[in-house]
Structure 1
Amino acid sequence: MHIWRRVGLALAGTVILQLFTSCSGESVPGLAPKPSDIEVDTPELRALREDAGIDPCEPGTRSSPNEMPDLELACLGGGASTDLQAISGPAVINFWYAACPPCRKEMPAIQEFHDRYGEHVQVIGISIDVWPDQALKLVKKTGATYPQLADPDTSVTGSDLRIRAFPSFAFIAEDGSVTVHPGGVDSSAELVDLVESELGVALGP
């Protein structure tokens, strides 16, 4: 199959998913992920990642599995892959894609949270974009430097985690339990409230 046809099919699948979710709607029951041919680690993407100043991805350090799906995702723009079940809490995972307006809008607030509380609470983004260059350009535009993973085949969305809308958050507690909450925060203070409520972490003023 020609490369552009493969890319076109992958793009069509993600566009259909995004139309159903409409950034804030419900997910499609039974929508299964399909393997993707999208490359998320090329010299061009590495250059975009470096230019954006994104923090490196970490493989994960938790010795016992958390409640995240048993999946390993590539780092957006190159770097170490991350075992989702090895992410140590407390952690905030943000699911997004570049064409989603509320995803773009909330990124600066997430970055502000990361700047202030990143030493206490991990912040990780997961992009489902089939055009990783556009995802990286948006990350640079919004000033987001927290680590970014790539999920162009929507393997997480199609898992039991059941991400129903974009943007969304998954909160990983210290004990490994996971809760999912709709995204679209307007400020870092709103994210602080969510973290304190979902993770039981006192972050202070």
Structure 2
Amino acid sequence: MRRLLTGLLAAALFALSACTGEAPAAEDVAAVPTGPPCLTSVGSPAAASADGKPLPAMAVKCFDGGRYIDASLLGNAPTIINLWGSYCEPCRTELPAFQRFVTAAGDKVRVVGVVVKDSRSAAQSVIDDKKLTFPMLEDRDQQFSIALSQAVGKPISNALPATLFVAPGGRVVYTYQGEALDEEKIRALTAQYLRIEVGP
């Protein structure tokens, strides 16, 4: 019983911990922080799918300069990871579509933005201008995007925008790189690769 209560307490802290602190201490890396611009837990952890490539287990910093999170924890729910930069025109074009998708998806799918090789002020300007509310991580030195490139076998860090569809269990089941996505295409890819229908 004590073990069950400890587990429930850990799960609650996992969902509610905020992006504060500076160093990637073990307790910081283990937690997924709450609310924009970091992360909110969606759903329950699930067994890994046999399909796809695993997310790298590495610390990635919250965009607001707070805690680090372990990227592999992004697989505790169906997740879409969108890598972008303010210098990337197609990125800026598709970000509002992701925001509309987030509003429509609710708790069904988590969307996480990753700001790649960009200044905080330039990225923040885009976030403010596009009124983005979904969680953001920071990859200024491209270590995360390089690790993702190695994991999925595609160059991601220098080919933005890039969007990864992650099944519960932390497996990247599809990587999209191409023209800016619109909301209809995001819905279609989500249905195809995550098997989740998001209505208008």
TM-score normalised according to structure 1 size:
0.66
2:144 alignment counterpart: 156
Counterpart pick for 2:168 among 143, 150, 174? 174
Cα distance in 2 for partners of 1:62, 1:120 equals 13
Aligned runs of 1:12-161 on 2, under 5 Å? 55-58=36-39, 62=45, 67-87=54-74, 88-159=76-147, 160-161=150-151
Q: Please list the CA deviations of residues 36-95 of structure 1 after superposition, one character each: whole Å capped at 9, or x if unmatched.
A: xxxxx8xxxxxxxxxxxx714238674878811121111112333221101123110000
Cα distance in 2 for partners of 1:62, 1:155 equals 26
TM superposition shift of 1:167: 0.3
Task: Classify the secondary structure of the residue corresponding to 2:92.
Answer: helix
TM superposition shift of 1:183: 5.2
Report if the CA contact (8 A) 1:109-1:188 is conserved. yes
Report if the CA contact (8 A) 1:59-1:83 is conserved. no
AA of the residue aligned to 1:192: R
Report if the CA contact (8 A) 2:36-2:135 is conserved. yes
Report if the CA contact (8 A) 2:38-2:64 is conserved. no
Which stretch has the larger CA shift, 146-155 or 179-188? 179-188
Cα distance in 1 for partners of 2:94, 2:56 equals 25
Give the RMSD, CA atoms, in angstroms: 2.4
Say if 1:63 and 1:56 are closer, same or farther in 2 by CA, change over 3 A. Answer: farther
AA of the residue aligned to 2:161: P
Structure 2: gaps spanning 5 or more residues: 1-21, 23-34
Cα distance in 1 for partners of 2:92, 2:182 equals 13
Report if the CA contact (8 A) 2:165-2:190 is conserved. yes
Which stretch has the larger CA shift, 94-103 or 82-91? 82-91
Cα distance in 2 for partners of 1:63, 1:102 equals 33
Cα distance in 2 for partners of 1:62, 1:100 equals 33
2:191 alignment counterpart: 196
Percent sequence identity over aligned pairs:
27
Report if the CA contact (8 A) 2:47-2:169 is conserved. no
Task: Classify the secondary structure of the residue corresponding to 1:146.
Answer: coil
Cα distance in 1 for partners of 2:45, 2:141 equals 25
Task: Classify the secondary structure of the residue corresponding to 1:158.
Answer: helix
